[in-house]
């Protein structure tokens, strides 16, 4: 029996370079993931995960570590072969694990044969696969659009005497989605991967797929403050270079392909943006095709850790969704963001995990967060990320959150037998899979328990969300209801102990410290230590096991 996406307990993001190296070259690979599938499911010590997604594994010159694709239908030899990937899907499916792929529609590599042809001459049939423009009459750039990774978004091409557009690196030219042939190519590629058996797609950087066809300048940002740490990208308000009028139509064309294959989904990568209200932005993306697609919710990544801020953003977001139709995808970390523990703190990260797994929808976790992995310290000589190399000093480099997975206490944390592409972090001796599996109060044990609850009880995935204790500055409480079942989630987000009284007492189902849950006092109050959290089942509305217990 295949699991419905609505029943998936969580998605686990694998950064393939850093998960497991099976062939001793210092870089992770698909065989490594296959060796570790029982980490996810199938053995008593498994974490218990229903789905995994891979950051790009396609052929690529690796200018942006795979987000520069040179063949959308093949696997980079560093990671293995298509047969390895087929084998991985087969074995994952045997364990009832769904497999998702990253898909990069906005840009290809400059080594992709399309671009090689496109730049060969102005009249090449593939010229319009990308966006080319002449300089202005005065010889200046076609417009003021900026690249996120620094400098202008335009790169001069000597051979054909025009500029091409690149929102990211110059090695990542933007595909021209105005061209129906490009759209058809991308749809064919989606067919290819769905035929091969992938269960879902994470669609990268989608906001840039549609741009102003008149290529008007982006207006200046009056709020921009210059200074040594200012990111020049903030100089403009990016209203013309992205979120163009055709964006949702193009996404719809992609989701039409998804819909052809039963049980598949597509999740759009998009961050909150000042140009829109969050409501317009989210509902725009949900409006594309809510049967099979939804945006990530990344608001938690930028929200300060306190009860009021979390309550506000989550309650607003839940309030704008139609529960029957819209699947929330709460995400608190990924390969572009400082690690959860490093952002919010060690104890606070446990509270975020409690919150994330008790919220509705489809949570996404980033590899290693289940071990409480921290950002690594990367020396100048070890830098890998092109962003840090191009914009040094802004602290935007993404190497710290991409360090090798911490499996055990051996020299390279069990990730590899040779020096890995990025150094192992200093916490690997304590925060590793072996040590944490046998520690009944570790992050791993906490995640394992929460994932188990999510799998067993539909209330976690599908119950209604309601806030409780609205004005409390320290404790964020929400409840979930599903038919006759009712749970409370009580999150002490302050550094002081807090007494809390629920309308009913009941059984504590989970605690931020699984080995030392708090207890209800005789008067029905609950004392929560600083940054402690509990999930409580109401005694009058107990949870029922579903009839079918899946693997
Ligand atoms: C977003 C990805 O998450 C990031 O890693 C990448 O550099 C850009 N898109 C460009 O593809």
Q: What are phi and psi of 528, to 5 degrees?
A: -105, 130
Q: Which residues constitute the domain of residue 293?
A: 5-106+180-452
Instruction: From 390, 419, 452, give the residue that closes a domain.
Output: 452
pLDDT recorded at residue 547: 54
In-domain check, residue 173: no
* Cβ atoms of 106 and 210 closer than 8 Å: no
Model confidence at 546, pLDDT cuts 50, 70, 90, reads low
- Give the predicted TM-score (pTM) of the model: 0.97
The answer on 471 and 364 residing in a single domain is no
The answer on 117 and 89 residing in a single domain is no
Residue entry with tokens 């296959």: 34
Residues 171-180 as b or e (16 or more Cβ within 10 Å = b): bbbbbbbbbe
The answer on 119 and 34 residing in a single domain is no
Whether ligand 1 lies within 6 angstroms of the CB of 168 is answered as yes
pLDDT recorded at residue 388: 85
CATH number of the CATH domain containing 142: 3.90.400.10
Strands 498-501 and 525-528: antiparallel
CA distances from 165 to 111, 153, 265, 273, 473 (A): 15, 6, 30, 22, 47
CA-to-CA distance for 534 and 41, rounded, in angstroms? 25
Burial status of residue 374 (CB atoms within 10 A of its CB: 0-12, 13-18, 19 or more): buried
Of the listed ranges 210-214, 406-410, 448-452, 525-529, the one predicted with least confidence: 525-529
Ligand 1: centre distance to CA 34 (Å): 25
CATH number of the CATH domain containing 261: 3.20.20.80
Joined together, the tokens standing for residue 224 give: 């921009």
pLDDT recorded at residue 541: 80
pLDDT recorded at residue 521: 87
Residue 208 scores a pLDDT above 80: yes
pLDDT recorded at residue 543: 86
Residue 549 scores a pLDDT above 50: no
Told to judge if 347 belongs to the known catalytic residues of this protein, a careful annotator would answer no
Residue 470 scores a pLDDT above 90: no
Average per-residue pLDDT for the chain: 95
Residue 393 scores a pLDDT above 80: no
Residue entry with tokens 């990069």: 104
Diameter over CA atoms, the chain: 82
Atom of ligand 1 nearest to the CA of 68: 11
In-domain check, residue 414: yes
The answer on 416 and 483 residing in a single domain is no
pLDDT recorded at residue 410: 97
In-domain check, residue 280: yes
In-domain check, residue 543: no
The answer on 102 and 242 residing in a single domain is yes
pLDDT recorded at residue 3: 84
The answer on 134 and 26 residing in a single domain is no
Closest by Cα among 203, 183, 180 to 296: 203
Instruction: Output 299 or 227, whichever has higher pLDDT.
Output: 299
pLDDT recorded at residue 1: 61
The answer on 430 and 534 residing in a single domain is no
CA-to-CA distance for 101 and 192, rounded, in angstroms? 12
The answer on 497 and 368 residing in a single domain is no
| Bridge partner list, 498 | 528
In-domain check, residue 432: yes
Ligand 1: centre distance to CA 204 (Å): 7
List CB contacts of 319: < 8 A, sequence separation 6 or more: none
The answer on 133 and 84 residing in a single domain is no
pLDDT tens per residue across span 446-466: 999 999 999 999 999 999 999
Closest by Cα among 431, 445, 430, 435 to 512: 445
Told to judge if 128 belongs to the known catalytic residues of this protein, a careful annotator would answer no
Rounded to an integer, the average pLDDT of 250-272 is 97
Side-chain-side CA neighbours of 109 within 13 Å: the count stands at 19
Joined together, the tokens standing for residue 175 give: 């595909």
In-domain check, residue 171: no
Residue 551 scores a pLDDT above 90: no
pLDDT tens per residue across span 473-524: 999 999 999 999 999 999 999 999 999 888 877 899 999 999 999 998 888 8
Model confidence at 540, pLDDT cuts 50, 70, 90, reads confident
In-domain check, residue 229: yes
CA-to-CA distance for 473 and 489, rounded, in angstroms? 16
Model confidence at 539, pLDDT cuts 50, 70, 90, reads confident
Domains identified in the chain, total number: 3
The answer on 383 and 265 residing in a single domain is yes
3-class state of residue 14 by DSSP: strand
Sign of the alpha-carbon dihedral angle for 371, 377, 383, 385 = positive
Whether ligand 1 lies within 6 angstroms of the CB of 102 is answered as no
Joined together, the tokens standing for residue 181 give: 């042939």
* Cβ atoms of 412 and 418 closer than 8 Å: yes
CB neighbours (10 Å) of residue 201?
Answer: 26
Q: From its phi and psi, is residue 490 left (phi > 0), alpha (psi between -120 and 50) or beta?
A: beta
Of the listed ranges 26-30, 202-206, 363-367, 396-400, the one predicted with least confidence: 396-400
Whether ligand 1 lies within 6 angstroms of the CB of 103 is answered as no
Residue 91 scores a pLDDT above 80: yes
The answer on 206 and 72 residing in a single domain is yes
Residue 27 scores a pLDDT above 60: yes
Rounded to an integer, the average pLDDT of 366-384 is 96
Among protein residues, the one whose CA lies closest to atom 6 of ligand 1: 67
Residue 545 scores a pLDDT above 90: no
Instruction: From 431, 452, 473, give the residue that closes a domain.
Output: 452
The answer on 135 and 92 residing in a single domain is no
CA-to-CA distance for 443 and 373, rounded, in angstroms? 10
Q: Where are the beta strands (DSSP E) in 204-345?
A: 265-268, 293-295
List CB contacts of 251: < 8 A, sequence separation 6 or more: 203, 206, 209, 268, 285, 288, 289, 293
Whether ligand 1 lies within 6 angstroms of the CB of 336 is answered as yes
Atom of ligand 1 nearest to the CA of 149: 7
In-domain check, residue 151: yes
Joined together, the tokens standing for residue 108 give: 């290809």
Rounded to an integer, the average pLDDT of 396-419 is 96
CA distances from 177 to 113, 174, 244, 459 (A): 17, 9, 11, 41
Instruction: From 402, 418, 452, give the residue that closes a domain.
Output: 452
466-469: long-range contacts (C-beta < 8 A, 24 or more apart)? 467/311, 467/315, 469/500
Residue 401 scores a pLDDT above 60: yes
Q: What is the DSSP letter of 401?
A: G
Sign of the alpha-carbon dihedral angle for 298, 302, 306, 312 = negative
Q: Choosing from 174, 199, 204, 388, which is the catalytic residue?
A: 204
């Amino acid at each position: 029996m295949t699991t419905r996406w609505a029943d998936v307990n969580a998605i686990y993001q694998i950064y393939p370079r850093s998960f497991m190296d099976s062939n001793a070259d210092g870089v992770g690979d698909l065989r490594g993931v296959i060796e570790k599938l029982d980490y996810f499911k199938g053995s008593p010590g498994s974490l218990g995960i229903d789905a995994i997604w891979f950051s790009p594994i396609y052929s690529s010159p690796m200018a942006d570590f795979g987000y520069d694709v040179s063949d959308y239908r093949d696997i980079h030899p560093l990671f293995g072969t298509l047969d390895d990937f087929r084998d991985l899907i087969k074995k994952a499916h045997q364990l009832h694990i769904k497999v998702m792929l990253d898909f990069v529609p906005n840009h290809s590599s400059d080594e992709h044969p399309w671009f090689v042809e496109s730049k060969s001459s102005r009249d090449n049939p593939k010229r319009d696969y990308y966006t080319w423009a002449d300089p202005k009459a005065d010889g200046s750039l076609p417009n003021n659009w900026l690249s996120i990774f620094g400098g202008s978004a335009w790169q001069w091409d000597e051979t054909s005497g025009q500029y091409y557009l690149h929102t990211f690196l110059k090695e990542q030219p933007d595909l021209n989605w105005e061209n129906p042939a490009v759209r058809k190519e991308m749809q064919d590629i989606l067919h290819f991967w769905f035929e091969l058996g992938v269960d879902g797609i994470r669609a990268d950087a989608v906001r840039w797929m549609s741009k102003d066809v008149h290529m008007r300048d982006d207006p200046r940002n009056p709020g921009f403050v210059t200074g040594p740490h200012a990111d020049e990208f903030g100089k403009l308000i990016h209203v013309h270079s992205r979120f163009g009028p055709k964006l949702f139509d193009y996404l719809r064309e992609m989701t039409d392909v998804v819909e052809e294959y039963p049980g598949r989904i597509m999740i759009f990568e998009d961050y909150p943006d000042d140009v829109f209200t969050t409501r317009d932005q989210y509902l725009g993306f949900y409006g594309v095709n809510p049967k099979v697609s939804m945006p990530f919710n990344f608001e938690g990544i930028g929200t300060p850790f306190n009860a009021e801020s979390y309550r506000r953003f989550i309650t607003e977001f839940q309030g704008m969704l139609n529960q029957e139709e819209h699947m929330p995808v709460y995400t608190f970390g990924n390969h572009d963001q400082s690690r959860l523990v490093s952002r919010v703190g060690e104890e606070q990260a446990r509270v975020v995990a409690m919150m994330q797994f008790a919220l509705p929808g489809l949570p996404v976790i980033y590899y290693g967060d289940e071990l409480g992995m921290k950002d690594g310290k990367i020396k100048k000589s070890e830098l890998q990320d092109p962003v840090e190399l191009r914009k040094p000093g802004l602290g935007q480099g993404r190497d710290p959150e991409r360090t090798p997975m911490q499996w055990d206490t051996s020299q390279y944390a069990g990730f590899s037998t040779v020096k890995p592409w990025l150094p192992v972090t200093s916490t690997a001796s304590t925060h590793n899979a072996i040590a944490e599996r046998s520690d009944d109060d570790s992050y791993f044990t906490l995640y394992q328990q929460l994932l188990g609850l999510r799998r067993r009880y539909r209330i976690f995935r599908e119950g209604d969300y309601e806030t409780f204790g609205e004005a409390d500055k320290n404790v964020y409480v929400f409840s979930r209801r599903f038919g006759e079942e009712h749970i409370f989630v009580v999150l002490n987000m302050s550094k002081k102990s807090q007494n809390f009284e629920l309308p009913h007492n009941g059984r504590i189902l989970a605690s931020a410290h699984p080995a030392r849950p708090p207890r209800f006092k005789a008067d029905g109050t609950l004392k929560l230590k600083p940054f402690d959290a509990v999930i409580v089942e109401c005694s009058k509305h107990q949870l029922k096991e579903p009839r079918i217990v899946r693997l």
